[in-house]
């Protein structure tokens, strides 16, 4: 190889090596379980850190409370505690930058934020021929 080709090849290797892979299904499942563990531990700050910005804003707007309080109190808190997973997800579906994690008693939706997953919706019920109905829902 000539010197210019080596420089181009080295630059390409650096660029490709520096690109982090998008988080996968196991990461989405881990984020959901971490969210529910924070709710179970009454750690509203940790739970809110796992929400996508749109979900956090909608929760605060809907309840009139700061996220750390809203995620643990009232109907939202009660629903999340009732639906906390006792075991692994029943299915995880990833499509690009979006994921759906189905738990035994809940369905959650996530989006990639930087290099990690953030929940866009939780406490969701399927409705035939209509969108899911969720206690936490982002745009």
Q: What is the pLDDT of residue 21?
A: 59
Burial class (CB in 10 A: 0-12, 13-18, 19+), 67: buried
All residue ranges of the chain with pLDDT < 50 are 1-19
108-135 pLDDT, tens digit per residue, is: 999 999 999 999 999 999 899 999 999 9
Cα 69 from chain centroid (whole Å)? 19
Q: For residues 112 and 31, is the Cβ–Cβ distance under 8 A?
A: no
Residue 109 to residue 32: CA distance in whole angstroms: 9
Listed by start position, the domains of the chain span 24-137
- How much is the pTM? 0.82
pLDDT of residue 101: 96
Q: Of 39, 35, 57, which Cα lies nearest the Cα of 108?
A: 35
């Amino acid at each position: 190889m000539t010197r210019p080709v080596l420089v181009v090849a080295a630059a390409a290797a650096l660029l490709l090596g520096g690109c982090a892979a998008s988080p996968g299904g196991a990461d989405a499942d881990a984020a959901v379980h971490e969210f529910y563990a924070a709710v179970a531990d009454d750690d509203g700050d940790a739970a809110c850190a796992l929400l996508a910005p749109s979900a956090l804003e909608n929760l605060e707007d809907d309840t009139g409370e700061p996220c750390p309080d809203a995620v643990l109190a009232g109907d939202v808190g009660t629903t999340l505690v009732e639906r906390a997973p006792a075991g692994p997800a029943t299915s995880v579906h990833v499509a690009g930058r979006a994921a759906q994690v189905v738990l035994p008693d809940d369905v959650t939706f996530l989006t990639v934020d930087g290099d990690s997953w953030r929940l866009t919706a939780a406490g969701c019920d399927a409705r035939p021929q209509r969108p899911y109905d969720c206690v936490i829902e982002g745009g």
